[in-house]
Amino acid sequence: MTDLGYLLEAILLLAVPFVPIAVGVLLRRKFSPAPAAEGAEAPAPTGAQKAGRLIGAILIGVGAASILFMLIVLLNFKGYI
């Protein structure tokens, strides 16, 4: 049981950097601009859409940076850096 608990903890910790990426992708999808009607020009995105997509992009960036950080830390731990 102890092992299982620690294994779950390790998996969750490893998944931490992917959480902001997943949230960011969801946000960008949720706030994607409405599709343009046929032959008509695409409507301008609303303020909420712009903000939602920006926050999504930031979260994806944070997640990517976190993965990079963990890689650097791992390389440092292994003595490569």
Partner 1 sequence: MKAPRFLISLLLLALAGGAAFAQEAVEWKHQDFRPEFALFTESEAYTRETWTALPPLEQTRLLGEARQPAGERLAAMTVYYETAMKPWNTQELNGYAAGVKDADIAAVKLWLGQTKAEAFKKKLSVSRAMIKKAAAEGLDAGDRAALQPYLTPEAIADLGSLRAAVSLQRQAAVKADPARNEIPKGAVNSTLQGVTGRLGGSVSGNLAKAFDGSTATGDVTPVQAAAGRHDIPAANTAVSGLTGRTGALANKSAGAASPQRIPATPAVKSSVPAPLPGTAAQKKSTAWTSDAYGITVQVAGRPEPLTFRKARDAEAAIRQLPDGSISRITLYGHGSPGMQTVGDDAYDPDSAAAMLKGKMARGGVVQFSGCNTASIGGASVNPAVGISMAARRLLYFSLPYFQDRMDGVPAAQAREQWEKTWNADLSRDTSLQMRGTVVCGYRTFGLVPGRLPGLTRLMGNQEATTPGYVAGKKVCYRDGREVPEP
Q: Which residues bind partner 1 (CB under 8 A)?
A: 2-3, 6-7, 9-10, 13-14, 16-17, 20, 62, 66, 69-70, 72-74, 76-77, 80-81
Q: How far is the CB of 44 from partner 1 (least distance, A)?
A: 32
Residue (of 61, 65, 32) closest to 48 by Cα position: 32
Q: How far is the CB of 16 from partner 1 (least distance, A)?
A: 5
Which DSSP category does 1 fall into?
-
Q: CB-wise, 49 or 66, nearer to partner 1?
A: 66
CA dihedral 73, 74, 78, 79 (to 10 degrees): -30
Which DSSP category does 40 fall into?
S
Q: How far is the CB of 31 from partner 1 (least distance, A)?
A: 22
Q: CB-wise, 14 or 36, nearer to partner 1?
A: 14
Task: Report the distance separating Cα 78 and Cα 81, nearest Å.
Answer: 8
